[in-house]
Structure 1
Amino acid sequence: MTESRTPAQALKIPGEAGVWVFLFGDMVIFVVFFVAYLVDRAAAPGLFAQSSHELGLAVGVANTLILLSSSLLVVVGLGAVRRGAVPVATGAFRGAMACGVLFVVLKAFEYTQIASGATGTDLNPFFSWYFILTGVHLMHVLIGLGVLGLMVSRAQQSSDVTGKRLMVIESGACFWHLVDLLWMLIFPLLYLVA
């Protein structure tokens, strides 16, 4: 059984327009970071490649899978909200939050390993960029955890989530997907540098 939608409903962009402006601005800032990183990498490709191998690829892959899983849970949660399945929605959003917390824990472990010198490298331009890119991204994850909490709260207010509440949840989902997208760009730049 398929849902009948008007053309306006089928083409509706999720979230608020202001959120999309913010997300675009955020992406522009990261593009500037990525270009600056690539310029520095081009100036010292050997150093960047050697330093990249000092990172724990397994932790990077785990964090990637964790964030992909969290985005899937947000998609499931948003679909459940639209169907009025509040328990499914809140469970999915809480699962996404758990993934976010696990990401933070693994990132803290990785930071500790690098800071303690366990990697056997001194802080160099690669690791400066590593901390800049992953640190700013980590701030986005922490903010995103708060946003996911807000999404749980909004979803729990009623089984008929429409209007402003739905827009808040959709906007939060868009932000969380941006967090995931940014990691999908950061991961290969830092962990898979050739």
Structure 2
Amino acid sequence: MMWVLILSELAVFGILLGAFAVASVFNTPTFAAGHRLLNPALAGFNTVLLMTSGWAAARGALAARFNRVKACRLWLWLAIALGIAFVVAKLVEYAGEIAAGAVFDDNIFFTLYFLLTGFHLLHVVLGVIILIVVQRAARPTAVETGTSFWHMVDLVWVLMFPIIYLTR
């Protein structure tokens, strides 16, 4: 069932990213102005946080596979902490953008930007909750299922980051 969820979420994110890319072609000045309010350095830092978290989650899954419960939990707690750090950094980024004048319904750029990144942020929070739940028992099947969702969150961000922050 997790794979059905992951594939459906990837499809939704794919449609939203496609809409963002198409809208950027038809609204070049609006997107250029919107990009100027973004903080690609902070988004890059968030990328490092999320990728490192994904690595820690993979290490946790490997430890679970070999019934190393304590190591599994430690790796998953590192993944969880880095996921929480991502959330905090993203909220700081949002605060800076809003202070600079970004508004959700101001234009198509910020409508799509906040929809995409906000939807992703909700998935990060859900992923953190899933990791908290699966680390308790540290059973290999549960950990692998939970980390699969976490890796989907990573994959989506790796696709979103260049499309949103690095294209002008």
In the other structure, the counterpart of 2:89 is 106
**Structure 2 counterpart of 1:178, from 130, 137, 152:** 152
Question: Equivalent residues in 2 for 1:38-117 (5 A)?
Answer: 38-116=21-99
Question: Equivalent residues in 2 for 1:22-33 (5 A)?
Answer: 22-33=5-16
Let me know the Cα RMSD of the aligned residues.
Answer: 1.3
Whole-angstrom distance in 1 between the partners of 2:84 and 2:28: 33
How far off is 1:166 after superposition? Answer: 2.3
Whole-angstrom distance in 2 between the partners of 1:166 and 1:96: 16
How far off is 1:186 after superposition? Answer: 1.0
Amino acid at match of 1:183: W
Greater share of helix residues, 1 or 2? Answer: 2
In the other structure, the counterpart of 1:158 is none
1:152 has 2:145 as partner: no
How far off is 1:50 after superposition? Answer: 3.2
Unaligned 5+ runs, structure 2: none
1:188 has 2:162 as partner: yes
Q: Relative to 1, partners in 2 of residues 1:32 and 1:83: Cα closer, same or farther, differing over 3 Å?
A: same
Maintained 8 Å contact 1:80/1:89: yes
Whole-angstrom distance in 2 between the partners of 1:103 and 1:121: 20
Runs of 4+ in 1 over 4 A off after TM superposition: none
Whole-angstrom distance in 1 between the partners of 2:162 and 2:36: 12
Percent identity over paired residues:
35
TM-score under structure 2 length normalisation: 0.93
Maintained 8 Å contact 1:53/1:191: no
TM-score under structure 1 length normalisation: 0.81
Whole-angstrom distance in 1 between the partners of 2:122 and 2:45: 19
Amino acid at match of 2:164: L
2:167 is paired with a residue whose SS is coil
